Structure 1
Amino acid sequence: MPSRHNLPSPQIIELLGSGTSTGVPEVGCYCRTCLSLDPRDQRTRTSVLVVSPAGKRILIDCSADFRQQALLAGIDHLDAIILTHQHYDHIGGLDDLRTISWRTELPIYAEPNVLEAIKSRLHYYFGPHRYPGTPHLTLHPISSLEPFTLYDLTIEPIRVMHGKQPILGYRIGSFGFLTDLKSIAPEELEKLRGVELLFVNGLRYTKPHPTHQTIEEAVELTARVQPQRSYIIHLSHHAPPTAELQERL
């Protein structure tokens, strides 16, 4: 593979959602973050849209809030989707793709176990008699060990641990994306060296979580990678309101 520093990077990176699996505000909660009137504290679940230099639109994770995110961002078509893992907050929006891909095929790239979970949960998409109106999704297995080419971009998977569950992050040129990370091996962290922009998960401040980094752990990891810019994503309502969080950081 050519040097990571020389690979094409996305032309546009649009963060569609930055919240954890329950979103912020959380249903039934009246904490100060959930009651905040600051629109920055209204976080849909994490997903990001990247646009390649050739104009190809690639979605990283299809959150359960995809419909709302697509309407706000003006998304009327996608060229591909890459998934980090099969938890509902990262694939729950796949059913909302029917209005933009029921006539044309939309490729989805993920590890084999993730694709099997999709086939099981959305079995009416893939049987011999596909339910009318469902999206045309084509499933493409990828390996954590091998970069792959998607249109004019090279996608490099990065193995991270979501507690005890192995999932994927990604590097695309000078952009790195890590979500639901709890730990990462040194050789996988090395794949992020030289990124200019890093999105990295941080659930809450100091109280440890068994499957997610805290904000403090996210800051420490960012210091090891040393990107030019980094943004903390996958935030929960246990994180301080945005104004306070910015002061702390």
Structure 2
Amino acid sequence: MAEIQNMISILPWHPTRRWGVRQLSAINKIIIHQELGEADVEAVNNYHIKPNHISSKGCPHLCYHFSIRKNGEIIQANELSSVTWHCKGQNIEAVGIMAVGNFNGPGYDMGTSEPTKEQIKSIDFLIDYLIKSLRLTNQDVFGHYHFGKPACPGHELQKYVEKRRESLVAVDSNVEKSVKEVQKRLNQLGFAAGAEDGIHGIKTLAAIRKFQAAQGLHVDGIVGPKTWSRLLELTK
């Protein structure tokens, strides 16, 4: 069984900077990332605490709550109550998980590896643990691609995320609707959701956002009750 190794105090910290703090009740999602490199957890942490692309002053610590090594070892780098900087606009509400590796993803064909079986097994274990302890659901599991980074966490982990989310993106009168039906209705309206294959990929995500923008809805790429209701109304 996978175990979580606590390295919060072992990995070096920025000399002066520290994370903001939140109540655990503020957490409503889990976001999976890839490293986009072939370094180890320690090297990524050292990069983050020095001046980098995220902050010219350096970040307090590794910018994810958890990291998964290629051998499947789960590293906890920050307390769940810490507001780390892993996904712009989502940090107060999200737990960030990074898989070590440089994986091919949409618009990014420079990958040099793929997630290992051990990593995927450990991600599954960790998400089960977080869902149970934080009282979340599979619908609260996302990839960074849901929030503006198409290549992250790559093709294979995107498939994992969509399978984990059970390819369900909308609720109407407590009846779950499939991605395939959403795609069909978006295509019917001319929003080019791509193949009606039930996969919530980049084309479908872009089509949902375009539809939301056109209808004056909140543009988040998620088919919640308001978006679904509007889709139903226009495709009767």
**TM-score normalised by L of structure 1:** 0.29
**TM-score normalised by L of structure 2:** 0.30
